Each structure stands twice: as C-alpha cells, then as structure tokens.
Amino acid sequence: MNLDIFLVALAVLVFGVLAGRLEGTPVTLPMLFAGTGILLGPSVLAVFELDVGFEVVRVLAEATLVVVLFTDASRIDLGRVRDEHGIAVRLLVLGLPLAAVIGTGAAWLLFPGLPLVAVALLAVTLAPTDAALGQSFVDNESVPQRIRQTLNVESGLNDGLALPFLVLLLDVARSRADGAGDFVVVLLQAIAVGVLVGLAAGGLGSRLITTCARRGWTTPSTLRLTTIALAAIAYAGAESLGGNGFVAAFMAGIAVGTVARSLLENTTDFAQADGQLLTLLTFLLFGVVVAGPVLADTSWQVVAYAAASLLVVRPLATGVALLGSGLRPTTVAFFGWAGPRGLASIVYGVLVLESGVDGAETVFTVAAWTIVLSIALHGLSSAPLSRRYGAHVERFPEDAPERQEVTDLPVRLPPSWAHHHEQTDRTT
C-alpha cells in the first residue's frame, strides 16, 4: 500500500512540474494518468497492488462528476448561453439526442443479440463529451475564441443533459415499473426531485453563505469549503429522497450562479485544484482497474463500435445539428472530431455495469474501449489538428461566424486553461 501511495503521489508530482511544458504537445492529463495506470497495473507490469474494484472507481468518478457538474453549472449564465452561444445550443439540443439515436442504430447493427434497451444505454453512455481529454482543442490560441467557447459550453452541459435519458433507460431495463405510464412516473420523480432539491440546496445554501460572509462569520478558506459542500448536500439529499443526485448537483450549481455569483471564485478555485486532483485519480484508477483488463477482453465488434462512435456517430450528429448554421465544412468537421469521451462516460458505464441489466457487461466493455481509444486518438491529434484548423480559419473573412467575438463564458477551466484565457483576454 505504501508503494501504491508513493507511485500515485509521484505521478501527480511529475504532471504538476511538467504541466506547462506539456502544453501544446500530444501528452494530455488523461493520457498520462490512464497510461500510467495501464502500464503499472496488473495487466502489464503489476507494480500497483491496489486492491480496489469497480465500486471504488464508481465512487471516485461519481464524486468527481458531482464536483464537475456543480462547478460547471455555477459559472453558466443561461441568458448569455442562449443569446451568444447559438452553436452550442444546437450541439446540445440537437446534436446530443442525435448522437444517442445514431449510436443506438450502430450498436443494434453490431450487437444484434443485445436487447434494444442495452444498445440504447451504450449510445447514451458515450454521447457526452469531456473537454479534459482534449485541452489542446481549446488551448491553442490560433483557434477562434468563438469555437473554443462553444466546445467549452457543450462539454460543460452535455453530461448533465444526458442524465435523464440514462435514468429512463436504466429504469426500463430493470423493469422497476409495470407499464409505460409507470416508467414515465419513475423518470419524472427522479428528475423532479433532483431539480427541486438542487435548486433548494443551491439557492438557500448560497443565500446563507453570502449572509454569513457579509457579517464576517466566515473566512476565505471556509467559504470555498462551504460552497462546494452544497454540491454534496444536493446530491445526497436528492438520492435519499428517490431523486437523481447528478441532476441535483447540476441544478444546485445553476442556483448558486444565479443567486450568488459572488461565490463563483470559490467554485473556480476548487475546480482548479481539488477538482483537478479528483480527475487525476479517476483516470489513474480507470487505467489500473478498468482499461488494463478490458483491453485483453475484446472482439472485432467492440473495436468497430468504439471506432464508429468516434469517427461516425459524433461527426454525423454534429453535421446534422449544424446544418444552416453558416459554418464552413472544415469547422463542422472540427466540431465533429473535437468531442472526446471521458469522465461522464466512465461514471455512466460503471452505473450500467452495477445495474445488472441484461447486456450490461457488453455495454461496459464497449464503453471502456471507446474511452481508451478516445484518450489515445484525441490526445495525439488535438494539438496538431488545432494548429492546422486555426491557420485555415485565418483565411476566412472577418465577418465569418467562426471569427465572431463572444463574451468570455468559462465553463470548465483546468489550471492550464485558466492561464490560456488570461492570455486571450489580454490579446482580444
């Protein structure tokens, strides 16, 4: 165990001291930590002696996702998203459902023996994107600000928007109700309770925190802790009342960002430090516990669907969603590729596996393979592709949709991104 702690801490140290040097290179945070987990895990060198299972990965990934959903949502101004980020709205409202539908069709063709609900679960599990897997897509200053911000908004919101679909499909697969009407009731209860608990926890909690702060009852360090505690309160409260905790965490963040925007500095600080550490550990354990064993258990159908999810499903859904947007084909293609799968898909995949529904193991294996493939392909391609795309856009007219300026709207900002946005602000 001491050796495991030493290796984990060493991996964090190495990334921390080299993070700036690695910017603009094909080496990304998920690649480094997932790769370290695979290499030192039981499937290769067997150096790690971590006696953990999927339950530990699930708990850590859930905690990370709760923090990510809460902090992302807290920094979103819904009015500005509607008015200034029409492209992101298209990707969320049209692109996300289309990806689920197209992914379901592809899975049905490749896995004809799986129940329809299982192939739909696979598609929904892989529909959300993860900006942490492709930092270079939005780090490169040659990529127009509008494109970077659109990817930022999309990745910050789509994991929360995919949750209702996952909840519905899991309830249907587990047959927790006797008919279609009961399924709808179960779904609405899970979402409604989550929304109400989240809004209450975020709204009332943020008012309490700001009131105490004005009276000098708090300290700067405890303000950060109490603000993030609202995410845990919302999640646990909703789950205990039969609601969906992820929806609650997301809505709590929305409430905090609406009622007490003065607290946003606290959520940003947490996301850039403690939240980043949770992400590192999640990808490390994913490599040790999940990726290594899964890579040895595969078939041509698994690899084919993983490739199709990245190369066909997302680009096709994005292309349809952006029809009539005025964007050039190269930009549509860039959006289609800049959609890596990561944290949300890990959580959803483990949730499906633990549900025990028919076909859950196949869904989990395919999802894990897709995430591993995404870590490698998006990591290797993001920096050079961003540079080439940025150089191409420079030849567009000044009034092209790609080059229109937007108000800065940060959603998910790892430390390197925060530094980048500071540079961007000084140059725009």
Residue-wise pLDDT for 127-179, tens only, equals 999 866 666 676 667 788 888 878 877 887 787 778 778 877 887 777 655 55
Residue 339 confidence (pLDDT) above 60: yes
What whole-number distance in Å separates Cα of residue 286 and Cα of residue 290? 5
235, pLDDT greater than 80: yes
Q: Could you read off the pLDDT of 177-196 as tens digits, one per residue? A: 555 566 567 667 777 888 99
Q: What is the pTM of this model?
A: 0.80
Q: Quick one: average pLDDT of 80-107?
A: 87
- Write down all domains in the chain, each with its CATH number in brackets: 2-427 (1.20.1530.20)
Range 293-303 average pLDDT: 85
Contacts 24+ apart (CB under 8 A), 18-21: 19/415, 19/416, 20/416
Q: What mean pLDDT do residues 10-14 have?
A: 83
Whether the pLDDT of residue 410 is over 80: the answer is: no
Does residue 335 carry a pLDDT above 60? yes
Q: Cβ contacts of residue 22 below 8 Å, gap of 6+?
A: 15, 28, 32
For position 284, what pLDDT does the model report? 86
Q: What is the mean pLDDT of residues 331-355?
A: 90
State the average pLDDT over residues 324-330. Answer: 92
Greatest alpha-carbon pair distance for the chain in Å reads 63
